[in-house]
C-alpha cells in the first residue's frame, strides 16, 4: 500500500524518492497495524495541534512537520508518513486514505471538503472537538461504572466469605476451591455473558437488513437508546453543516453524511427519503415520510428551507441534540449505581434464602 506499505524487514516506509522515511517494527512495535484505529483522545490532540497551526497561518506541510515530534506518541510514526506524502503534493485526505483504516471515512471526507473550501483549519478543529467529546463521554461512562463494579465485586465475595471462614456451607465442607468457584467464577461468567452480548450487538449492527431492526430496537431502550440515537444525530447534522459551508449542495451532503453516520437507522431513513427529494418533495417533507427522524428535527429543517437560513437551523439542531445526549449521558451515569444496588440486593437475598433453606432442610431431617 503506497505511503504505509510494510517493508521486507517488518516495518513501514514511504515510497517517496530516496525512501526518506523508514519506521521499523522494533521502533514502534505493533502500533502501526493498519486495521487498528487511534484512540479518540489521541485523535483529539492531534487534530487540535494541526488545526491550531494551520489557523495560525502555517502551510499544512509545515504544520505536519511540526507535529511529527509533538503528536501523541502512538501516532508519531503515522504522522511522519503523512508528512512525507503531503510534502510530495498529496492532499491530506488522500495521504490518510493510503494508511489503511487508521483514520475514519468521516475524517477523510471532512478534511477533503474543508480543504477544498479553504477552511482546513475549521475541519481539523471540528474533528478535534468531536473526538474530545467522544473521549470525555467514554471516560465519564467508565468512571461512572467503577463504583457499581466495585460494589458488585464486594457483594459477591462478601456473601460467600462466612462460609469460607467457617469451612462449611449447607452442612458440607467448603474449601478455597469452592470459594473461588462461587466468587471469581461467578463474576467471570457475568463478564463472559456481557462480553458475548456486546459482541453479538456489534455484529448485528454490521449485518445489512438486520442492523436497521437492531438499531430501531436500541432506540426504544430508555435513556441509553436516546443517548445513542441523539449522538448519531449530532454527528449527522454536524457533517451536513460542514459540507454546506464548504459549498457542497444539500443533496450530496445528505447522501455522504448518511453513508458515514454510525447509525444504520439514519442511513436507512435517508435511503427511503432519497427518491422523493427534489423531484417530488422538499428535504424536510421527504424525511417526514420515513418515520425515522424526530419531529423537532423536521420542523427546524422546514423552517430553514422556508427562511433560507439553513446554516443557522443546523447550528441550532446540533446544539439541541448535543445538549440532549449529554443529559442522557448524565442520567446513564446516575442510574448505573442504582442498577448495581438492585443487583446486589437480589444477589444477597438469593444467598440468604439459599442459606436458610439449607438450615430448614437440615432441621426437617433431624425431626424425622
What's the rounded Cα separation, in Å, for the pair 164 and 179? 6
Name, of 189-198, 219-228, 235-244, 275-284, the range with top average pLDDT: 189-198
pLDDT band at 195 (very low <50, low <70, confident <90, very high): very high
Average pLDDT over residues 227-247: 84
Are the C-beta atoms of 5 and 85 separated by less than 8 Å?
no
Q: 201 burial class (0-12, 13-18, 19+ CB within 10 angstroms)?
A: exposed
Domains of the chain: 5-127 (1.20.81.30)
Q: Looking at 22-26, 35-39, 102-106, 228-232, which range is the least confident one?
A: 22-26
Q: Per-residue pLDDT for 235 more than 60?
A: yes
pLDDT at residue 55 tops 60: yes
In angstroms, how far is CA 88 from the centroid of its own chain?
33
Report the Cα–Cα distance between both ends of the chain, in Å, rounded: 81
Q: How many CB atoms lie within 10 A of CB 273?
A: 22
Band (368; pLDDT cuts 50, 70, 90): low
Cβ contact 37:102 at 8 Å: yes
Least trusted range by pLDDT, from 32-46, 80-94, 247-261: 32-46
Q: What is the pLDDT of residues 342-367, one digit of tens each?
A: 877 887 777 777 766 665 666 566 66
Identify which of 150-164, 174-188, 278-292 has the greatest average pLDDT. Answer: 174-188
Q: Which residue has the higher pLDDT, 314 or 170?
A: 314
| More confident of the two residues 367 and 16 | 367
**Lowest-confidence pick of 208-217, 250-259, 351-360:** 351-360
Q: Is the pLDDT confidence value at 103 over 90?
A: no
Query: Which grid coordinates are listed for 113?
Result: 471538503
How large is the average pLDDT for residues 225-229?
A: 87
Q: Are 77 and 150 in contact (CB under 8 A)?
A: no
pLDDT value at residue 196: 94
Q: Model-level pTM?
A: 0.69
96-110, 158-172, 180-194, range with greatest mean pLDDT: 180-194
pLDDT at 338 over 50: yes
Average pLDDT, the chain: 80
Provide the pLDDT confidence category of residue 119 given band limits of 50, 70 and 90: confident
Over residues 288-314, the pLDDT tens digits come to 999 899 999 999 999 988 888 888 888
pLDDT at 139: 87
Q: How far is CA 192 from CA 40, 200, 202, 286, 339, in A?
A: 26, 12, 15, 44, 19
Whether the predicted pLDDT of 245 surpasses 70? yes
Amino acid at each position: 500500500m503506497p505511503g504505509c506499505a510494510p517493508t521486507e524487514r517488518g516495518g513501514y516506509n514511504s515510497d517517496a524518492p530516496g525512501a526518506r522515511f523508514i519506521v521499523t517494527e522494533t521502533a514502534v512495535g505493533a502500533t502501526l497495524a493498519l486495521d487498528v484505529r487511534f484512540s479518540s483522545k489521541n485523535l483529539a490532540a492531534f487534530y487540535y495541534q494541526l488545526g491550531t497551526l494551520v489557523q495560525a497561518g502555517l502551510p499544512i506541510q509545515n504544520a505536519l512537520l511540526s507535529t511529527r515530534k509533538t503528536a501523541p506518541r502512538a501516532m508519531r510514526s503515522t504522522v511522519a508518513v503523512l508528512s512525507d506524502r503531503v510534502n510530495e503534493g498529496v492532499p491530506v485526505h488522500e495521504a490518510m486514505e493510503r494508511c489503511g483504516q487508521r483514520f475514519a471515512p468521516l475524517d477523510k471526507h471532512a478534511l477533503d471538503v474543508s480543504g477544498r473550501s479553504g477552511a482546513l483549519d475549521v475541519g481539523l478543529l471540528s474533528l478535534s472537538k468531536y473526538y474530545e467529546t467522544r473521549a470525555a463521554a467514554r471516560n465519564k461512562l467508565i468512571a461512572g461504572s467503577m463504583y457499581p463494579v466495585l460494589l458488585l465485586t464486594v457483594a459477591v465475595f462478601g456473601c460467600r466469605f462466612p462460609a469460607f471462614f467457617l469451612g462449611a456451607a449447607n452442612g458440607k465442607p467448603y474449601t478455597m476451591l469452592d470459594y473461588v468457584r462461587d466468587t471469581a467464577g461467578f463474576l467471570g461468567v457475568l463478564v463472559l455473558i456481557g462480553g458475548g452480548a456486546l459482541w453479538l450487538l456489534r455484529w448485528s449492527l454490521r449485518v445489512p437488513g438486520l442492523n436497521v431492526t437492531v438499531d430501531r430496537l436500541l432506540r426504544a431502550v430508555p435513556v441509553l437508546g436516546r443517548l445513542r440515537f441523539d449522538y448519531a444525530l449530532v454527528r449527522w447534522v454536524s457533517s451536513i453543516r460542514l459540507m454546506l459551508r464548504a459549498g457542497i449542495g444539500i443533496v450530496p451532503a445528505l447522501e455522504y453524511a448518511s453513508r458515514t453516520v454510525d447509525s444504520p437507522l439514519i442511513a436507512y431513513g435517508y435511503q427511503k427519503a432519497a427518491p422523493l427529494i427534489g423531484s417530488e418533495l422538499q428535504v424536510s417533507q421527504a424525511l417526514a415520510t420515513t418515520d425515522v427522524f424526530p419531529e423537532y428535527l423536521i420542523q427546524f429543517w422546514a423552517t430553514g428551507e422556508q427562511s433560507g437560513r439553513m446554516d443557522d437551523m443546523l447550528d441550532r439542531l446540533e446544539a439541541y441534540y448535543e445538549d440532549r445526549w449529554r443529559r442522557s449521558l448524565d442520567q446513564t451515569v446516575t442510574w448505573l449505581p442504582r442498577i448495581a444496588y438492585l443487583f446486589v440486593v437480589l444477589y444477597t437475598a438469593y444467598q440468604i434464602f439459599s442459606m436458610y433453606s439449607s438450615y430448614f432442610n437440615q432441621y426437617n431431617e433431624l425431626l424425622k
